[in-house]
Amino acid sequence: MPTFKLHLPVMLLVAGLVVGCGSGEHLTFSAIQLGRSLNADNTVGNFTTSFKSGDPVYVSVVTTGAGSATIGVRWMYAGRVVDEPKKKVSYRDVAATEFHLQTAAKLPPGDYSVEVFIDGQSVGTRPFKIAKPD
């Protein structure tokens, strides 16, 4: 009877392929949209990267495919985290998940960014600016 000796790395590779061969359904990142307003489907209606202090700031994370994931964003200002909201989602097709930057006071002028995560993995960052008041 023939015997086979598998090395640990080969066994781990085979195990990873077997586990990864589930249903094949997963969300795929498509786009980051940044702007002042939202459409009914949660996509951004007015694209911009320049805001006034009182403007709403929306980001929509567009995904394709079917599946579930945790989508999160990290809002940054002056090297500090302003907010890090997350949403658990489950979609069957193209979808947009919206987040908005909320603060009790008006946002101070300066350079900001929003980084997007899907299941804890960064998929992109968008810089934006809050203009000084006139």
Query: CA 51 → CA 35, 108, 129, distances in Å?
Result: 8, 11, 6
pLDDT tens per residue across span 119-133: 999 999 999 999 988
Structure confidence at residue 16 as a pLDDT band (50, 70, 90): very low
Find out if CATH 2.40.30.200 is the number for domain 25-130: no
pLDDT of residue 3: 44
For residues 24 and 113, the model is more confident at 113
Checking if the pLDDT of 63 tops 80, the result is yes
Whole-Å CA distances, 86 to 9, 28, 54 = 35, 17, 24
DSSP 109: S
Q: Note the pLDDT tens digit of each residue in 71-122.
A: 999 999 999 999 999 999 999 999 999 999 977 778 899 999 999 999 999 9
Q: How confident is the model over 37-55, as pLDDT tens digits?
A: 999 999 999 999 999 988 8
Instruction: Enumerate the domain spans of the chain.
Output: 25-130
> In this structure, are residues 57 and 44 in contact, taking their beta carbons and an 8 Å threshold?
no
